[in-house]
Structure 1
């Protein structure tokens, strides 16, 4: 999954690995309480009665799964050693990949849900139900886990073949049919988010005369803007690095950057909106009136 310089001589590699450990450690320290509090508030105040709340809860769970995989990355880059088995390395690597994939899908579903609430508030009511959201969530997690099977098998074979005793410093050679999966998924989800942003922006622009709702419109567009930022900064660069060899030397740095997404979800997505502290029914009825 990534290429490190652990074990090389010189102060530059040592400083680089120390920086990696500090970044992953900071993400762990910030991401755990932020996402735990977000999950608690979502479960307590929103009660999973709307599709938006269902997708947000699973987004927080995805971020927490990423956070629990970070301690071993911190240990590895701080000490330069891997004390666990190959199986543990594979599991931790898959947790990292799953966060990028599941988060990108959940964020996209949140965008689609907001699109339906703003553009088709009445026609979409039979679609925007918590039961439909849970069906979608089950399919998403099943899809993500199933994709882990061939990747894990390939990763394990590569580690055994090259007699690797370390984890994150090993540069995996992904199978040709697998290495395009994540970039294709991220590009597809990004395209959906761009279309949703354009349609919602066009719809809200037609209602600018409703001055009483201007503040809510700004918040709605901020949601879509933040979603696009998540893709372009955190998800897309690391996905492209898997495909393009020119980016692979900086893959570990891009992985550090990608891990920061779990801190931005609660900070920039949840807490930036007053609706996060309200009952979800109030948020949806307010959006529908727009």
Structure 2
């Protein structure tokens, strides 16, 4: 039987995580249902969005534990449960940053290189990319879980083990990944904006150009507000909890990507919009 340790309750964070869960769960569940039912999985764009919605739902199912802990200050469960919830959080940031980048690259190819990219923008390649992403994340999470299982149980959860910055190689993995994905998104945004503004003949067939740019703006917003700050907490020693809460908010913003990506999102579309 695990010994429960009392921490100071933090009702504000319990309420914030509760609101994120209450908003994110229906948004992502409905979005996933619409994507699967009304939009063809033959579209690489849809494949990436389905995987992004699944990633967000995996994060959301871990939030009740956070709400309970911050509301009561009590963690009666095992360290394995705590570590699993933590892995879901970090896996969501990694998978979301990768799938959002896939969406940006796919939109870049569709707008800037619509003809030359046809052999690349296939459903098969999209599923291969998604499958490889989940495989790598599973290996990383499993290896971390094995490492943590050998450490003594401190009978608490969501409390940083280090008060200052960490210098291990693992602490730099997520900042490097997120920074790299952000750089790719910035390049994609610049190239698409340049094409839409300067090459009117090439972009004349692109419908809802405002929506296209909103997708890229939203991607950059999610990276800079949700992902980037929290990924540097381990190497800077910043207070982690407020940034963790902010990072979790991405599961409520991602459904906006699905809405802006499709004309008539709520209606069945057999052909992917350009």
Q: Fold match, TM over 0.5?
A: yes
| In structure 2, distance between residues paired with 1:112 and 1:167 | 37
> 1:105-132 CA deviation, whole Å, 9 max, x = no partner?
0000000000000011011111111111
Match of 1:3 in 2: none
Residue 16 of structure 2: which of 16, 23, 36 is its match?
23
Match of 2:49 in 1: 56
Residue 169 of structure 1: which of 147, 159, 163 is its match?
159
Name the Cα RMSD after superposition.
Answer: 2.1
Structure 2 residue ranges without an equivalent (≥5): 1-5
Query: In 1, are the aligned partners of 2:215 and 2:260 still within 8 Å (CA)?
Result: no
CA shift in 2, pair 1:101/1:211, >3 Å: closer
> 1:15-54 CA deviation, whole Å, 9 max, x = no partner?
xx11110111111111111100000000011131110000
| In structure 1, distance between residues paired with 2:141 and 2:135 | 10
Per the normalisation by structure 2, the TM-score is: 0.90
CA shift in 2, pair 1:67/1:56, >3 Å: same
Alignment of 1:172-191 (within 5 A): 176-191=168-183
Match of 2:3 in 1: none
Deviation at 1:192, TM superposition (A): 0.5
CA shift in 2, pair 1:211/1:150, >3 Å: closer
| In structure 1, distance between residues paired with 2:178 and 2:203 | 36
Match of 1:74 in 2: 67
| In structure 2, distance between residues paired with 1:211 and 1:202 | 10
Structure 1 residue ranges without an equivalent (≥5): 1-5, 9-13
Match of 1:240 in 2: 232
| In structure 1, distance between residues paired with 2:90 and 2:243 | 13
Deviation at 1:89, TM superposition (A): 0.9
| In structure 1, distance between residues paired with 2:17 and 2:167 | 28
Query: In 1, are the aligned partners of 2:44 and 2:121 still within 8 Å (CA)?
Result: yes
Match of 2:7 in 1: 7
- Runs of 4 or more, structure 1, over 6 Å off, are 209-215
